Protein backbone atom coordinates (compact mmCIF):
# COMPACT_ATOMS: atom_id res chain seq x y z
CA UNK A 1 0.00 0.00 0.00
CA UNK A 2 2.82 2.40 0.88
CA UNK A 3 4.51 1.56 -2.41
CA UNK A 4 1.50 2.78 -4.40
CA UNK A 5 0.81 5.88 -2.31
CA UNK A 6 4.06 7.72 -3.11
CA UNK A 7 3.86 7.34 -6.93
CA UNK A 8 0.18 8.34 -6.91
CA UNK A 9 0.88 11.49 -4.89
CA UNK A 10 3.86 12.31 -7.10
CA UNK A 11 1.79 12.01 -10.28
CA UNK A 12 -1.05 14.03 -8.75
CA UNK A 13 1.40 16.80 -7.73
CA UNK A 14 2.94 16.91 -11.20
CA UNK A 15 -0.50 17.01 -12.75
CA UNK A 16 -1.45 20.05 -10.64
CA UNK A 17 1.91 21.79 -10.96
CA UNK A 18 2.22 21.58 -14.77
CA UNK A 19 -0.79 23.85 -15.64
CA UNK A 20 0.32 26.40 -13.03
CA UNK A 21 3.82 26.59 -14.50
CA UNK A 22 2.48 26.86 -18.02
CA UNK A 23 0.18 29.75 -17.08
CA UNK A 24 3.06 31.62 -15.41
CA UNK A 25 5.26 31.18 -18.47
CA UNK A 26 2.91 33.32 -20.61
CA UNK A 27 2.71 36.25 -18.17
CA UNK A 28 5.87 38.14 -19.27
CA UNK A 29 4.64 38.08 -22.88
CA UNK A 30 1.25 39.47 -21.84
CA UNK A 31 2.92 42.09 -19.59
CA UNK A 32 5.14 43.31 -22.45
CA UNK A 33 2.13 43.50 -24.77
CA UNK A 34 0.19 45.50 -22.17
CA UNK A 35 3.13 47.88 -21.73
CA UNK A 36 3.14 48.62 -25.48
CA UNK A 37 -0.61 49.20 -25.59
CA UNK A 38 -1.56 52.88 -25.86
CA UNK A 39 -2.85 54.45 -22.67
CA UNK A 40 -6.23 56.13 -22.87
CA UNK A 41 -7.25 59.16 -20.91
CA UNK A 42 -9.83 58.20 -18.28
CA UNK A 43 -11.40 61.67 -18.65
CA UNK A 44 -12.19 61.09 -22.34
CA UNK A 45 -15.56 59.55 -21.53
CA UNK A 46 -16.60 62.36 -19.17
CA UNK A 47 -17.67 65.82 -20.34
CA UNK A 48 -15.04 68.41 -19.47
CA UNK A 49 -15.74 72.01 -18.46
CA UNK A 50 -15.27 74.52 -21.28
CA UNK A 51 -12.71 76.47 -19.28
CA UNK A 52 -10.38 76.00 -16.35
CA UNK A 53 -8.67 78.55 -14.14
CA UNK A 54 -6.04 78.30 -11.43
CA UNK A 55 -4.63 80.84 -8.99
CA UNK A 56 -1.67 80.10 -6.72
CA UNK A 57 0.81 81.90 -4.51
CA UNK A 58 4.46 81.33 -5.40
CA UNK A 59 6.22 83.43 -2.78
CA UNK A 60 5.61 86.01 -0.08
CA UNK A 61 7.95 88.44 1.67
CA UNK A 62 7.36 91.71 3.55
CA UNK A 63 3.69 91.98 2.58
CA UNK A 64 4.40 91.33 -1.12
CA UNK A 65 3.02 88.15 -2.67
CA UNK A 66 3.87 86.70 -6.05
CA UNK A 67 0.85 85.14 -7.72
CA UNK A 68 0.71 82.86 -10.73
CA UNK A 69 -2.53 82.22 -12.58
CA UNK A 70 -3.60 80.42 -15.72
CA UNK A 71 -6.76 80.34 -17.83
CA UNK A 72 -7.26 77.38 -20.19
CA UNK A 73 -10.16 77.17 -22.62
CA UNK A 74 -11.51 74.38 -24.76
CA UNK A 75 -12.80 74.79 -28.34
CA UNK A 76 -16.43 75.02 -27.18
CA UNK A 77 -15.64 78.12 -25.10
CA UNK A 78 -15.99 81.39 -26.95
CA UNK A 79 -14.16 84.60 -26.20
CA UNK A 80 -13.19 84.92 -22.53
CA UNK A 81 -12.34 87.85 -20.28
CA UNK A 82 -10.33 87.45 -17.09
CA UNK A 83 -9.33 89.80 -14.28
CA UNK A 84 -7.73 89.72 -10.87
CA UNK A 85 -9.68 91.53 -8.18
CA UNK A 86 -7.38 92.88 -5.48
CA UNK A 87 -8.46 93.79 -1.95
CA UNK A 88 -8.96 97.44 -1.08
CA UNK A 89 -5.61 99.11 -0.47
CA UNK A 90 -3.59 96.50 -2.40
CA UNK A 91 -1.08 97.68 -4.99
CA UNK A 92 -0.01 95.91 -8.19
CA UNK A 93 3.79 96.05 -8.39
CA UNK A 94 4.32 94.00 -11.53
CA UNK A 95 2.28 91.80 -13.87
CA UNK A 96 -1.11 91.67 -15.50
CA UNK A 97 -4.45 92.26 -13.79
CA UNK A 98 -6.81 91.72 -16.72
CA UNK A 99 -6.98 90.42 -20.25
CA UNK A 100 -9.03 88.53 -22.79
CA UNK A 101 -8.81 85.43 -24.94
CA UNK A 102 -10.32 85.15 -28.43
CA UNK A 103 -12.63 82.24 -29.26
CA UNK A 104 -10.70 79.03 -29.95
CA UNK A 105 -7.62 80.16 -28.04
CA UNK A 106 -5.69 77.51 -26.13
CA UNK A 107 -5.25 79.66 -23.03
CA UNK A 108 -3.10 82.27 -21.39
CA UNK A 109 -0.21 80.14 -20.29
CA UNK A 110 1.32 81.11 -16.97
CA UNK A 111 0.70 84.73 -15.97
CA UNK A 112 2.34 86.33 -12.93
CA UNK A 113 1.51 89.28 -10.73
CA UNK A 114 3.37 90.79 -7.77
CA UNK A 115 0.99 92.44 -5.31
CA UNK A 116 1.61 94.41 -2.11
CA UNK A 117 -1.19 93.48 0.28
CA UNK A 118 -2.66 96.05 2.66
CA UNK A 119 -1.77 95.97 6.34
CA UNK A 120 -4.97 94.26 7.45
CA UNK A 121 -5.86 91.19 9.42
CA UNK A 122 -7.10 89.50 6.25
CA UNK A 123 -6.90 89.90 2.48
CA UNK A 124 -8.46 88.12 -0.48
CA UNK A 125 -7.54 88.06 -4.18
CA UNK A 126 -10.12 86.81 -6.69
CA UNK A 127 -9.64 85.59 -10.25
CA UNK A 128 -12.77 86.14 -12.37
CA UNK A 129 -13.13 84.44 -15.77
CA UNK A 130 -16.27 85.14 -17.81
CA UNK A 131 -17.35 84.16 -21.31
CA UNK A 132 -19.98 82.39 -23.39
CA UNK A 133 -20.19 79.00 -25.07
CA UNK A 134 -19.82 78.85 -28.84
CA UNK A 135 -22.92 77.71 -30.70
CA UNK A 136 -26.62 78.29 -30.67
CA UNK A 137 -26.97 78.25 -26.89
CA UNK A 138 -24.49 81.04 -26.17
CA UNK A 139 -24.75 80.03 -22.52
CA UNK A 140 -22.71 82.18 -20.14
CA UNK A 141 -19.85 80.48 -18.33
CA UNK A 142 -17.83 81.80 -15.43
CA UNK A 143 -15.19 80.55 -13.04
CA UNK A 144 -14.03 82.12 -9.78
CA UNK A 145 -10.86 81.25 -7.87
CA UNK A 146 -9.80 82.88 -4.60
CA UNK A 147 -6.76 83.12 -2.35
CA UNK A 148 -7.13 84.40 1.20
CA UNK A 149 -4.61 85.42 3.83
CA UNK A 150 -5.07 86.02 7.52
CA UNK A 151 -8.14 85.44 9.60
CA UNK A 152 -11.40 86.58 8.01
CA UNK A 153 -13.71 88.75 10.03
CA UNK A 154 -16.36 86.64 11.75
CA UNK A 155 -19.85 86.76 10.34
CA UNK A 156 -22.26 87.56 13.11
CA UNK A 157 -22.02 89.29 16.45
CA UNK A 158 -19.00 89.29 18.69
CA UNK A 159 -19.18 89.39 22.47
CA UNK A 160 -16.49 91.71 23.81
CA UNK A 161 -15.25 92.38 27.31
CA UNK A 162 -13.81 95.81 28.14
CA UNK A 163 -11.09 95.89 30.78
CA UNK A 164 -12.05 98.63 33.28
CA UNK A 165 -8.46 99.45 34.17
CA UNK A 166 -6.98 99.73 30.67
CA UNK A 167 -10.08 100.30 28.52
CA UNK A 168 -8.97 97.63 26.05
CA UNK A 169 -11.77 95.66 24.40
CA UNK A 170 -11.14 91.93 24.05
CA UNK A 171 -13.25 89.58 22.00
CA UNK A 172 -14.28 86.65 24.16
CA UNK A 173 -16.88 84.92 21.96
CA UNK A 174 -18.36 84.96 18.47
CA UNK A 175 -22.08 84.44 18.09
CA UNK A 176 -22.92 82.60 14.84
CA UNK A 177 -25.20 84.14 12.27
CA UNK A 178 -28.73 82.86 12.45
CA UNK A 179 -30.54 82.62 9.14
CA UNK A 180 -34.29 82.75 9.05
CA UNK A 181 -36.10 81.66 5.96
CA UNK A 182 -39.16 83.55 4.88
CA UNK A 183 -42.40 81.60 5.26
CA UNK A 184 -45.12 82.36 2.76
- CB neighbour list of residue 172: distance below 8 Å, 6 or more residues apart: 159, 160, 161
Examine residue 157 and state whether it is found in any structural domain, yes or no: no
Q: Which pLDDT band holds residue 184 (cuts at 50, 70, 90)?
A: very low
pTM score of the predicted model: 0.57
- Residue 48 CA to residue 51 CA, distance in Å, equals 8
136: CATH: 2.60.40.1230
Q: In this predicted structure, what is the pLDDT of residue 132?
A: 85
Examine residue 36 and state whether it is found in any structural domain, yes or no: no
Examine residue 129 and state whether it is found in any structural domain, yes or no: yes
Q: Which pLDDT band holds residue 3 (cuts at 50, 70, 90)?
A: confident
Examine residue 105 and state whether it is found in any structural domain, yes or no: yes
Examine residue 118 and state whether it is found in any structural domain, yes or no: yes
pLDDT tens across 47-101, in order? Answer: 677 788 999 998 888 889 999 999 988 877 888 899 999 998 899 999 989 999 8
Instruction: Please give the residue range of the domain that contains residue 77.
Output: 48-150
- CB neighbour list of residue 159: distance below 8 Å, 6 or more residues apart: 171, 172, 173, 174, 175
Examine residue 22 and state whether it is found in any structural domain, yes or no: no
Examine residue 54 and state whether it is found in any structural domain, yes or no: yes
- Residue 22 CA to residue 15 CA, distance in Å, equals 12
Q: Which pLDDT band holds residue 135 (cuts at 50, 70, 90)?
A: confident
Amino acid sequence: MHRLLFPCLFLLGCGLLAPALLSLAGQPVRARAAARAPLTDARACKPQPPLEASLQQLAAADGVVELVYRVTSRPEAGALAFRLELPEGAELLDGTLAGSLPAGSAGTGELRARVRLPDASSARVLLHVDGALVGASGEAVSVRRALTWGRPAPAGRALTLVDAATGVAERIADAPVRHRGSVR
